[in-house]
Amino acid sequence: MKRTPFHKILIANRGEVALRIMRTARRLGYGVVAVYSDADREALHVREADQAIRIGEALPAHSYLRIEAIIAAAKASGADAVHPGYGFLAENEDFARACRDAGLVFIGPSPEAIKAMGNKAGAKDIMRAAGVPCVPGYQGVDQGEGAMFAEAERIGFPVMIKAVAGGGGRGMRLVTDAAMFLDTLRSARSEAQGAFGDPTVILERAIADPRHIEIQVFGDRHGNAIHLGERDCSVQRRHQKLIEEAPSPAVTPELRARMGAVAVAAIKSISYEGAGTLEFLLDKSGEFYFMEMNTRLQVEHPVTEAITGLDLVELQLRVAGGEPLGLRQEDIQFSGHAIEVRLCSEDAGHDFMPQSGRMALWQMRQGIRVEHALESGSEISPFYDSMIAKLISHGESRDQARRQLIHGLEQTAAFGVTTNQGFLIDCLRHPVFAGGEATTAFIGEHRDELLAGTKDPSSEAALAALLLYVTDRNAPPWRNGRTLAVAFPLPVRLELDHGSYDLEVVRERDGGYLASLGGNAHRFEIDDLGSDTIRFRSNDVMETAKFLRNDDRLYFLHRGVTIAVRDLTLAAPATAAATGGDGKVRAAMNGRVVAVLVKPGDKVAAGQPVMTLEAMKMEHVHTAGIAGTIAAVDVAEGEQVTTGKIVVEIEVAAAT
């Protein structure tokens, strides 16, 4: 077999993906080259590389998709191999072929294998031929609305619509009844076209409350193929994974052997080389069905590394160089349990709306694995996926791994951008997840419980008021002990978790502080006050909170929850503009306008969709705040907008 040695690797990806690959490549003695868009000019992966080459400007998200620019960057840097990472071009057959034609080693499967498995419809045909059970559905060439509707009725509702060319939940929709099918089909096609340049979709029967199980496989050019066990990826929102674990609490050794054998037979049938993942749905009876194959390394591969002791990037590099895997199936041993969570810059309480901005403070707990490309001051761009870090724990038992991960999240300070940190903690603590019973319906069924938040918001408001009081630059410096100074109550008005609170804070003569909210009074004693940490006692309980004060903004981490506070004490009263009640629809985030749904003169009702914005790989519909007539449309399709920009203006309907 021909060997394909290489010495320098260009990584055609960004952020934590690039840093993860660099770590292993450097350990094995390879040089590493990064590429970057203008949005990533100062990014950590750029600074960490041996060389970094600019590949794009205007639309940074598209820069990493420019095949010619990446090939040219590899040539200019002297790299002789390209690693595509986990996304962007990782499953693009044209990119793999372009690397091969340019004499570069592509660290991934062949273009032929990517083409065969990258199309969901074609992949199912290959899997059926290999004896792999598949979800019943339709993957025909007739994409007409009439034909698709007829096939959906034949399959029976509920059905899943899936983009044939993509993944990551984009272009995927669940349709529960016939009445909503055509509108949902159009929406899925629009998102698929925007994300993958291909509006083609397939239909699948929706299996009730399944588990999402994937099998990690590896093959080499010597005909060897193995599997590395399964991962359970059932906890999802918007069909995108949030929590992954290995092994699955629902998979027995016998089922693992069956699923693994099927997966290995499938990749052998196409002479697959490199890392890949076969994704299955596992129903309540224990039957499993093939969904798709990802011809790349997965975001969640660290949990497999944790329980096998293998470095999967190292295996990728060895296979790409022409070496045999050097592992037999019987060599693979599993140890303990691993769980990964995806920390995302999103607002879980507002339909997981992506958030961008500046990470004012980033501090992690030592002792668990964290994959990230963050530092204090990092800009969270609206152009890329909302995942900003992964936290991975490994324990002797599942419950030990779960507890360690909760503790790690509780001690992670991510100030400045709203994240799903608290939501992840609540998921891990929920008795259904703790009991190993979570299916893909977990978040949908328990959403209200998971988003319930604190049972006593007044205590958080009181602590926020105390911190605002003692960190005010005009306040007298804190000193421990009694005071002889005459104390007067000071009013504090603050915004906390999308609600406002009016409090009074006073320092008592014994040195304690009293924060009053309505009829509730919260008493605090401060043991120590540092530049970023406070140790205090309340109700005879001593606690610590980390905080950051930034003008009228205060962030603090208390009991594992990051709380953002705005000091409104001296602010002007809020206006109708905040809710769109002034007739102006404002962009909820930085993003690209993908659809303008109204034109001047149109009559609209309150809540009617008027514009669709794409941010962080997801589409977000903006609606009218009031009923009236469209007076102006201030954006055009394809335009990039910033948070708060007025996109549509509505003239209020005249009273009758």
- The C-alpha atoms of residue 543 and residue 514 are separated, in whole angstroms, by 17
285 contacts: CB under 8 Å, gap ≥ 6: none
Query: CA 342, 547, 587 angle in degrees (round to 5)?
Result: 55
- Residue entry with tokens 């062949």: 110
Report which secondary-structure segment, H or E, holds 648.
Answer: strand 646-652
Catalytic one among 170, 296, 342, 592? 296
From residue 273, alpha-carbon distances to 222, 229, 269 in Å are: 9, 18, 11
Handedness of CA 475, 477, 478, 484 (dihedral sign): negative
- Residue entry with tokens 């040539």: 75
For residue 248, the number of C-alpha atoms closer than 13 Å in the C-beta half-sphere is: 30
Q: Distance from CA of residue 150 to its chain's centroid?
A: 35
Q: Distance from CA of residue 442 to its chain's centroid?
A: 17
Do 63 and 52 contact (CB within 8 A), yes or no?
no
* 628-633: strand order across its sheet: 584-586, 646-652, 628-633, 603-604
- The C-alpha atoms of residue 489 and residue 509 are separated, in whole angstroms, by 13
- Residue entry with tokens 């071009």: 89
Is 296 labeled as catalytic in the residue annotation?
A: yes
Burial 503-520 (b: 16+ CB within 10 A, else e): bebebeeeebbbbbbeee
Helix extents (H) in 156-288: 181-196, 253-269
DSSP 104-140: PEESS--HHHHHHHHSHHHHHHHHHHTT--B--EE--
Catalytic residues: 296
